[in-house]
Amino acid sequence: MVKQTKTAEASLEALHRIFTVPEAPHSTLGKIEQAISQNLNSFLQDHITSSDYSLTDIEKDFSNPHIPEQPAFVSDHTEFLLEKLVAQSVHTSSPRFIGHMTSALPYFLMPLSKIMIGLNQNTVKIETSKAFTPLERQVLGMLHNMIYQREEAFYQSWMHSAEHSLGAFCSGGTIANITALWVARNAALRADGDFRGVAEEGLFRAMRHYGYDDLAILVSERGHYSLKKAADVLGIGRQSLIAIPTDANNRICIDKLETKLAELKARNVKVFAIVGVAGTTETGNIDPLDKLADIAGREGIHFHVDAAWGGASLMSQNQRPKLKGIERADSVTIDAHKQLYVPMGAGMVIFKDPSLVSAIEHHADYILRKGSKDLGSHTLEGSRSGMAMLLFASLNIIGREGYQLLIDQSVDKARYFADLIQTQPDFELISEPELCLLTYRYVPEVVRAALEKASPAQKDAIHSLLNDLTVFVQKHQREAGNTFVSRTTLKPEPLERRETRVFRVVLANPLTTHAILQEVLVEQREIAKRSTIAYPELLTLANSIVTA
Amino acid sequence: MVKQTKTAEASLEALHRIFTVPEAPHSTLGKIEQAISQNLNSFLQDHITSSDYSLTDIEKDFSNPHIPEQPAFVSDHTEFLLEKLVAQSVHTSSPRFIGHMTSALPYFLMPLSKIMIGLNQNTVKIETSKAFTPLERQVLGMLHNMIYQREEAFYQSWMHSAEHSLGAFCSGGTIANITALWVARNAALRADGDFRGVAEEGLFRAMRHYGYDDLAILVSERGHYSLKKAADVLGIGRQSLIAIPTDANNRICIDKLETKLAELKARNVKVFAIVGVAGTTETGNIDPLDKLADIAGREGIHFHVDAAWGGASLMSQNQRPKLKGIERADSVTIDAHKQLYVPMGAGMVIFKDPSLVSAIEHHADYILRKGSKDLGSHTLEGSRSGMAMLLFASLNIIGREGYQLLIDQSVDKARYFADLIQTQPDFELISEPELCLLTYRYVPEVVRAALEKASPAQKDAIHSLLNDLTVFVQKHQREAGNTFVSRTTLKPEPLERRETRVFRVVLANPLTTHAILQEVLVEQREIAKRSTIAYPELLTLANSIVTA
């Protein structure tokens, strides 16, 4: 053993203490823990300051590239984190912040998270996760059952089978979508005669073997950007993710899909996946899944549904009909960190057929041995935490009926807000809520009147100014820090498919009240009227048209 | 708004309470929180029971595929989790469990994790993470600096630049390796003339454009299994991940690499990445990185170093020379949840050149807009938690010198254990520790004597029985639950490259003592001697050879 100086030994002794001596209740961290346990919301309210600190200011606090040589006191560093990090973070659980898909968390998840982190299991293999492996398999089974509602015997046969898997738990919807399309690609280009499959021989040889001129994935133009990433990673190429136009309700146009399919077939392009969107990120609309299932079934194409957002709605018997056809999908993506109300980092892909994952099965000698029940044989990720525990607890503690109430109230609230917008003389609803998302914009009364009479060129000019105004309002509203909505760009049919900037709201937080929604409109109207950008020109232009 | 019955309203009211009313200090969860805060280790010791419950037994507890209709009391469900999940999980932080790469966690990370989860930031974009974005960029900068030690101005230019990134934080080493190879593939098959690059047009067109007959990635036979997964996902094919033999110290044979390179060049195969391993998963050995850098540089090939395990050793000036050459790598994978002692789910890939990530840059309209500093533009994952905060805190609180002590003591302890094994008459050291990993096996004294005299056929027979014995001992030791080592299969040169089952230990836990290591050998010897499998035949065979 290397001889150590007394100082090094003493330091090592001191270091051991961070592993063995807990933070005292009256230490800075001890007090924070208690504050969070007692009232998370007021802890966040007290510590997140909506200062006029810009991103550039914050960057100055986080710009030292040197790992400090000397250790720091926990309390000192905690003070730094409170002042510089927590103070400048986003209050994602605030009922007044209705622009994100992250929402409030149930209280019981805080102590449960602590257990999960303290246990520090690694779910890649049973050796480092033991009961967490069956638990995760059960969670996947419960979600499978929510979607596919298969008979009891089905789950008893496959839920804990070593060679099968009802899905994969992962860090989020992007990895879930990539996993689903990876499975679809490998299944379409599977082993055949001398050819040992794309997994083994690669895409280049696969294409030569099958004689296709190209590959393609079809999805509506509202598909999530992660699908493009998937097409890139998987070697298909982004251009082969083909966007099909949507109708006035942001749903894929079936006739345009059929036309594209026929065209690709004629060009010898193999379509290996059709992706249905169940809850678009921007508007929350749901594709006609049953019709997509018909087409995919007829053509023998893998049918994937990206229900990262909308999947949770299956919990409600009232919303379930909106997703009709999802039970025919070969694979479904669902994010638990969205409307299943668990913390960030909990995505899932669920497979209808438990043997589908064999297309991506991996083994190694020191891990994931053949015949083992190690979860890592069927996941894109390797080492993973015991996150499934938090979803498991939520499913049990909230229960299906509890989730139904949470989902229904979010949809009701979106309906309320849509109605509220429509009764305002100076707000315009752009997309109707199907789930709890909607989009709208601010259009001053005189501008609405002017649009009735405007020439095409005038319409273009007004439209462009309205876009600038929307961007201005959203930005200043965010900076003020009182309420928050997000924004996106749509090409709505009623607006002649012009690129339209819109406010986007997601009403998932159960604590958001009608009063808050009313306040949001009041605040936006005020910001708009104070705007030195676009607003004055808009009024001048509109007045000139109206009085012409 | 939909009219609700009074019951539904009352239930919704009750549901709101889980978001607004904290767990009482005297509730089941409240008490658990306190127990964890006061003494995590004794909480785990008290609650993780090493029962003779088999996996099949556990599966029975986790086999109901139905999401319960009705909500459950938090306390009832917590009791269930304690009894069925926590009791049957793995005590990964026990100093007596020396078979995993997961180890004990510093205490301060428990309350900090709670802050992180309570804040529930989404680091995919600034809008939902604010200061967490600069913080994560700083962490990547600190790790970049640890590896590449560039000048101050370099970090001030690139750390917070919108179009650049010094790396990507991700859920683990697998995603980090995939990201690195994705970058390497896209950079090798970049846009060129009319060809818009593999990201856009896909692998099939890329190969036609560049005129290659195949692609390849080269790595030693000890490379991590995630690289095979990467080759599959990226469309290269597993067969194109080419394993180069290793020497007696589990390091890649440079001459065999050169031969393979020449052969592939002659066959018009484009090698787009050479992967050096810095800390093999099985033995902890480090490839000659400087020589690999020479070759990659000469050939213009992307040089990636998988330092998921060994990267942390750069913290120690005493270990750093072992990784010489890593500072010439184009990309490096490091897992913080390994020897940087943060909880599961913290991997990173670091890029030498901050513009390399442009090869995988993604944008969308409602998120990751061009020019934004959103981290999501350069990551494989989408939504991600604020995990980087925990590494940031550890780097600051432990400090470089603190990490140096932790790393050095782990290496010293491995040296101690190797020496201890070598002084035993009945244990055989298989791989010498270079970092804190080593492998060994149990070989009864008489068997060692017999091996000196045995014929090749007898050697084979003994070898096969020893393999069975190793598997038996490891399995029974694990089941007894007192201590734990893992096992793997190697083909050691001194054993004529026979497939050899070995015990594998990882001595990262700072709380593991010399006494525990002595105990491990005592326990293994006892289990071996009680074995009804292999042991009696081994003795009989050995005795017959020795007395022949």
Distances in whole angstroms, Cα of residue B368 to Cα of each of A439, B126, B372, B375: 19, 9, 6, 8
Contact between chains at A239 and B200 (C-beta distance less than 8 A): yes
Residue A37 clears pLDDT 90, i.e. is over it: no
Distances in whole angstroms, Cα of residue B107 to Cα of each of A24, A114, B78, B390: 10, 12, 23, 12
Give the model confidence (pLDDT) of A302-315 as tens digits.
Answer: 999 999 999 999 99
Q: How confident is the model at residue A367 (pLDDT cuts 50, 70, 90)?
A: low
One-letter amino acid for residue A361 of the chain: E
> How far is the alpha carbon of B543 from chain A, nearest alpha carbon, in Å?
32
Q: CA A170, CA A388: separation in Å to the nearest integer? A: 9
Q: How confident is the model at residue B4 (pLDDT cuts 50, 70, 90)?
A: very low
- The per-residue pLDDT for A70 is 93
Give the model confidence (pLDDT) of B68-96 as tens digits.
Answer: 999 999 999 999 999 999 999 999 999 99
Give the model confidence (pLDDT) of B182-235 as tens digits.
Answer: 999 999 999 999 999 999 999 999 999 999 999 999 999 999 999 999 999 999
The half-sphere exposure of B359 on its side-chain side, counting CA atoms within 13 A, is: 22
The residue length of chain B stands at 548
Instruction: Fill in the DSSP letter of residue B23.
Output: P
> How far is the alpha carbon of A27 from chain B, nearest alpha carbon, in Å?
11
Contacts of B300 (CB under 8 A, 6+ apart): none
Residue B50 clears pLDDT 60, i.e. is over it: yes
- The per-residue pLDDT for A403 is 97
Q: CA A268, CA A291: separation in Å to the nearest integer? A: 24
Contact between chains at B172 and A112 (C-beta distance less than 8 A): no
Q: Is the dihedral of CA B30, B35, B40, B41 positive or negative?
A: negative
> How far is the alpha carbon of B174 from chain A, nearest alpha carbon, in Å?
5
Instruction: Fill in the DSSP letter of residue B67.
Output: P
Q: What share of chain A is helix, strand, coil (3-state, %, to 5)?
A: 50, 15, 35
Residue identified by tokens 């898909």 is A101
Q: What is the mean pLDDT of chain A?
A: 94
CA angle B282, A381, A138 (to 5 degrees): 110
Residue A4 clears pLDDT 60, i.e. is over it: no
Residue A8 clears pLDDT 80, i.e. is over it: no
Are the beta carbons of B323 and B310 closer than 8 angstroms? yes
Give the model confidence (pLDDT) of B135-151 as tens digits.
Answer: 999 999 999 999 999 99
Residue B24: other Cβ atoms inside 10 A: 13
Residue identified by tokens 């089905």 is A154
Task: Note the Cα B38 to chain centre separation in Å.
Answer: 29
And the tokens for B137? 């960029």
CA angle B219, B225, B231 (to 5 degrees): 70
Q: CA B493, CA B272: separation in Å to the nearest integer? A: 30
Looking at chain A, which residue has its C-alpha nearest residue B155? Answer: A65
Q: How confident is the model at residue B367 (pLDDT cuts 50, 70, 90)?
A: low
| Any B CB within 8 A of A317 CB | no
A26-35, A522-531, B418-427, range with the lowest pLDDT: A26-35
The residue length of chain A stands at 548
Burial of A216 (0-12, 13-18, 19+ CB in 10 A): buried
Burial of B363 (0-12, 13-18, 19+ CB in 10 A): middle
Of the candidates A254, A354, A348, the one whose C-alpha atom is nearest the C-alpha of residue A296 is A254
Distances in whole angstroms, Cα of residue B301 to Cα of each of A233, B183, B326: 20, 12, 15
| Any B CB within 8 A of A50 CB | no
Give the model confidence (pLDDT) of A249-275 as tens digits.
Answer: 999 999 999 999 999 999 999 999 999
Which residues make beta-bridge pairs with B487?
Answer: B503
- The per-residue pLDDT for A9 is 78
- pTM for the model stands at 0.96
Of the candidates B94, B105, B39, B101, the one whose C-alpha atom is nearest the C-alpha of residue B482 is B94
Burial of B432 (0-12, 13-18, 19+ CB in 10 A): middle
And the tokens for A135? 């638990």
Instruction: Fill in the DSSP letter of residue A382.
Output: S
Task: Note the Cα A410 to chain centre separation in Å.
Answer: 17
- The per-residue pLDDT for B369 is 73
Are the beta carbons of A141 and A159 closer than 8 angstroms? yes
Contacts of A266 (CB under 8 A, 6+ apart): none
Residue A5 clears pLDDT 60, i.e. is over it: no
Kindly give the pairing relationship between strand A269-277 and strand A302-306: parallel
| Any A CB within 8 A of B126 CB | yes
Q: In chain B, what is the greatest distance between 2 CA atoms, to the nearest angstrom?
A: 94
CA angle B242, B244, B250 (to 5 degrees): 135
Q: Which of residues 506-525 of B touch A (CB under 8 A)?
A: 510-511
Nearest to A128 among B102, B121, B488 (CB): B102
Give the model confidence (pLDDT) of A102-147 as tens digits.
Answer: 889 999 999 999 999 999 999 999 989 999 999 999 999 999 999 9
Q: Which of residues 205-234 of A touch B (CB under 8 A)?
A: 205, 207, 214-215, 225-226, 228-229, 231-234
Q: CA A55, CA B251: separation in Å to the nearest integer? A: 46
Which residues make beta-bridge pairs with B504?
Answer: B439, B486
Nearest to B23 among A108, A380, A395 (CB): A108
Kindly give the pairing relationship between strand B347-351 and strand B269-277: unpaired
Residue A364 clears pLDDT 90, i.e. is over it: no
CA angle A436, A442, A446 (to 5 degrees): 145
Residue B267, helix vs strand vs coil = coil
CA angle B4, B9, B14 (to 5 degrees): 155
Task: Note the Cα A505 to chain centre separation in Å.
Answer: 14
Contacts of B357 (CB under 8 A, 6+ apart): B164, B165, B168, B183, B351, B378
- The per-residue pLDDT for A133 is 97
As a whole number, mean pLDDT of residues A152-159 equals: 97
Contact between chains at A396 and B85 (C-beta distance less than 8 A): no
Residue B405: other Cβ atoms inside 10 A: 25
Q: Is the dihedral of CA B263, B264, B266, B271 positive or negative?
A: negative
Burial profile A372-392: b = 16 or more Cβ within 10 angstroms, e = fewer? bbbbbbbbbbbbbbbbbbbbb
- The per-residue pLDDT for A365 is 64
Contact between chains at A236 and B127 (C-beta distance less than 8 A): no
Residue A543, helix vs strand vs coil = helix
Q: How confident is the model at residue A362 (pLDDT cuts 50, 70, 90)?
A: confident
Are the beta carbons of B117 and A110 closer than 8 angstroms? yes
% of chain A with per-residue pLDDT over 90: 87
Q: Identify which has the larger pLDDT, A494 or A400.
A: A400
Residue A480 clears pLDDT 60, i.e. is over it: yes
And the tokens for B214? 């195949």
Distances in whole angstroms, Cα of residue B392 to Cα of each of A64, B109, B112, B340, B342: 12, 11, 11, 11, 10
Are the beta carbons of B548 and B453 closer than 8 angstroms? yes
Residue A366 phi/psi, 5° resolution? -95, 0
Nearest to B401 among A70, A182, A237 (CB): A70
Are the beta carbons of A141 and A147 closer than 8 angstroms? no
| Any B CB within 8 A of A182 CB | yes
Residue B320 clears pLDDT 60, i.e. is over it: yes
